[in-house]
Structure 1
Amino acid sequence: MFELVYTSRASSMMTEIELEELRNEAIYFNSMQQITGLLLYNNGIFLQLLEGEQHDVESLYSRIKQDFRHYDVRQIYSRPIDQRSFSSWSMRFINVSPHLRQSSHNILLKDKLDLTEDWILPNTAKMLIKAFQHL
């Protein structure tokens, strides 16, 4: 097993309908490729964890980098893993934009969600992933 985490910026602010379409596409494609993961969105910024066989994850990441819906794609880290963190989610999507936050997101430090420029830091990314893994 292998995991890869990246951030990106939306080419334009995405509507709820566009985000739903993106989520549905990810669920469909990832289930066919046996890829699981987490996708966070906050006012135009994405953080995504992909997990699966290394070749499949790297192939998907190459495809993602070419997607017109976002830019400034930055790999934060990648590594071999013993087991999946999101094994039951072909793609768990959570919109953490301030106006849509749920009370369950209060377990996270508010600044870790709001300071999206820090999402590119491996320690911040790992903290967010771990927190949402248990929701």
Structure 2
Amino acid sequence: MTEQRPLYEVLYCSTLTQDLPPNTVGSIATRARGRNVERGITGLLVFDGQRFCQHLEGPREAVDALMQQIEKDPRHTDIRVVYQAPLAVRRYTGFGMGLAESEGPDLMAGVHVLEGETALRHFLALLPSFDING
């Protein structure tokens, strides 16, 4: 994927709407993969059975447009952007949009309460512990 526009990254956390079953997440990720590839967006969605953390990267306009869609999506509540900044090089080059399930809510709890570079570093430090399906 040759980059022609500057990259931007966003890490956000949210909660799955209570009336939806957790197995909804797999179908959400499957549908999102194709659309994200078309937009030049890569990243990782982590779900712990209740909460999401998603790290998105791509052209700023595309990432901003996707975040606007996510903010309007009734499947998400308590959406909170914990980090956003320009990005020099993609972190996720082996897959378009990976999906990982956390081993439980305690592992992801730190990301949900942190902000800024501290939240990003915490999330990135967890990557080796995830079984990523991309």
Shared fold (TM-score, shorter chain, > 0.5): yes
| Pick aligned residue for 1:42 from 21, 38, 48 | 48
Unaligned runs of 5+ residues in structure 1 are: 99-109
Over the matched positions of the two proteins, sequence identity in percent amounts to 25
2:134 is the counterpart of 1:128: no
Structure 2 gap segments, 5+ residues each: 1-6
Question: Judging changes above 3 Å, is the alpha-carbon distance between structure 1 residues 134 and 79 closer, same or farther for their aligned structure 2 residues?
Answer: farther
- The aligned residue for residue 81 of structure 1 is 87
Given that residues 10 and 44 in structure 1 are in contact (C-alpha distance below 8 angstroms), is that contact kept between their aligned partners in structure 2?
A: yes
TM-score with structure 1 length normalisation? 0.79
Q: 1:59 to 1:19 in 2, by over 3 A?
A: same
1:53 aligns with 2:59: yes
Cα 1:78/1:124, change in 2 over 3 Å: closer
Q: Does 1:9 find its partner at 2:15?
A: yes
User: Normalising by structure 2, what TM-score?
Assistant: 0.79
- Confirm or deny: 8 A CA contact 2:12 2:83 kept in the other structure: yes
Alignment RMSD (CA, Å): 2.2
Equivalent residues, number: 121
Aligned position for 1:24 = 30
Equivalence for 1:101:
none
